[in-house]
Amino acid sequence: MPDFRLPGVMHFGWAAVEKLSEEAAGLGRRALLVTGRSAMKRTGIADRVTQLLTQARVETILFDQVESDPSSTTIDLGARIAREHQCDLIVGLGGGSPMDAARGIAAITVLDGSILDYVRGRPVDRPGLPLVNIATTAGTASEITSVAVVLDEERRLKVGVRSPFWFARVAITDPELTMTMTPQLTAATGLDALTHAVESYLSTGATPPSEALALRSIGLVGANLRTAFSDGANRAAREGMAMASMVAGMAFANSGLGLVHGLVHPLGARFGLAHGVGCGRLLPHVMRYNAAAVPEKVVAVGTALAGGRSDDPEQAIAVVEALLRDVAVAPGLAGIGIPAQELPLLAKDGLLAGAVRTNPRPVNEQDALAVLSAAHRSG
């Protein structure tokens, strides 16, 4: 069985963010705090993290320039600022984009060249600066993984770059930090967590530990996402979704993903489709494609999600579609402004993603186009 890898230290639970002081104190003296452009300021979470770093006698340099899809330009800029200020610690704060950017910045601060060099195949040959990632959403699990998703502006591609050197030293998943998420963001991130878990479970890289974690995550999403969406103040549902995200991250960080993640990246890069929403919209269609190869596993997904027996793959897919509708996301791509003539290019770009290599059913361009065309007709 392949090695099973996770961050050096993981903290989960209410007020887990308070662990930052004691962890940061042993990692550095000057931290680059990497976050987005407004949300962390507006909610006060960035100020709280800065205070915790100050308590640890760690100076904070704020880098709040991360876009919704972190670009190579932004990551290279962050690394340059980290070098100029002689930072010896990187702290990522937010959803997937700031945490992915923080991972890339931690790496490029000590590597030669641009993040694009590594996006385009240059091998990573050493660890980066120590990294602490703090999640404020329940879906991306970027605090757990070793992948940075980067926008290659020149090629208009979102590409995931992975290295065993890139796991965070400390990963913090605190449900309290997710309490301010809107219903729309709750749905998007929750569907991202579900897709991570489903694709991990179906992956050709799945192992008994990753399968168990993935099924646990699917069950948690089924039990909690609707409530978290409709009642954001429900602490039990917020905790359940934070756990679902973290556990799915533990699974797919070791198993890989599949065709949904291959296809959703060009949809985001070219049309700005939000990642979690795109994953949710594509998931039933990719499950239907994969059911020909792993029907019993697709049935198990439906059983875990519904909390009761699904009898066939189509019933399992219907369970996923019902959840999508209950959180106001259509199961398909119709009506969101993607021209049909763009589908062949999207299919071609989708196969560039490493995630497709572990899809349970082999995929060529015609297969990917057929999946996209089916999704384009529905919704």
Query: 151 near 269, Cβ under 8 Å?
Result: yes
86: three-class secondary structure by DSSP:
coil
pLDDT tens sequence across 85-117 = 999 999 999 999 999 999 999 999 999 999 999
Residues 6+ apart with CB under 8 A from 50: 33, 60, 62
Query: Both 110 and 187 in a single domain?
Result: no
pLDDT tens sequence across 200-259 = 999 999 999 999 999 999 999 999 999 999 999 999 999 999 999 999 999 999 999 999
Q: pTM here?
A: 0.95
Q: Hey, which bits of the chain come out as E strands?
A: 9-12, 30-36, 59-66, 89-94, 131-135, 147-152, 157-162, 170-173
Query: 272 near 205, Cβ under 8 Å?
Result: no
Q: Which two tokens stand for residue 78?
A: 């962050």
Q: What are phi and psi of 66, to 5 degrees?
A: -75, 130
pLDDT at 320 exceeding the cut of 90: yes
Query: Both 79 and 170 in a single domain?
Result: yes
Please give the pLDDT value at position 1: 65
Which of 177, 210, 241 marks a domain boundary? 177
pLDDT band at 308 (very low <50, low <70, confident <90, very high): confident
Q: How far apart are CA 94 and CA 304, in angstroms?
A: 29
Please give the pLDDT value at position 196: 98
pLDDT tens sequence across 178-217 = 999 999 999 999 999 999 999 999 999 999 999 999 999 9
Domain count, the chain: 2
Query: Both 305 and 209 in a single domain?
Result: yes
Q: What is the mean pLDDT of the chain?
A: 94
pLDDT tens sequence across 15-64 = 999 999 999 999 999 999 999 987 677 778 999 999 999 999 999 999 99
Of 325-329, 330-334, 349-353, highest mean pLDDT:
325-329
Query: Both 369 and 233 in a single domain?
Result: yes
Query: Both 125 and 90 in a single domain?
Result: yes
pLDDT band at 151 (very low <50, low <70, confident <90, very high): confident
Domain span at residue 85 reads: 9-177
Please give the pLDDT value at position 161: 87
Query: Both 80 and 222 in a single domain?
Result: no
Query: Both 157 and 210 in a single domain?
Result: no
Is residue 4 domain-resident? no
Is residue 296 domain-resident? yes
Which of 177, 203, 233 marks a domain boundary? 177
Residues 6+ apart with CB under 8 A from 155: none
pLDDT tens sequence across 263-292 = 999 999 899 999 999 999 999 999 999 999
Query: Both 164 and 193 in a single domain?
Result: no
Query: Both 158 and 241 in a single domain?
Result: no
Which of 139, 155, 177 marks a domain boundary? 177
CATH code, domain with 32: 3.40.50.1970
Is residue 3 domain-resident? no
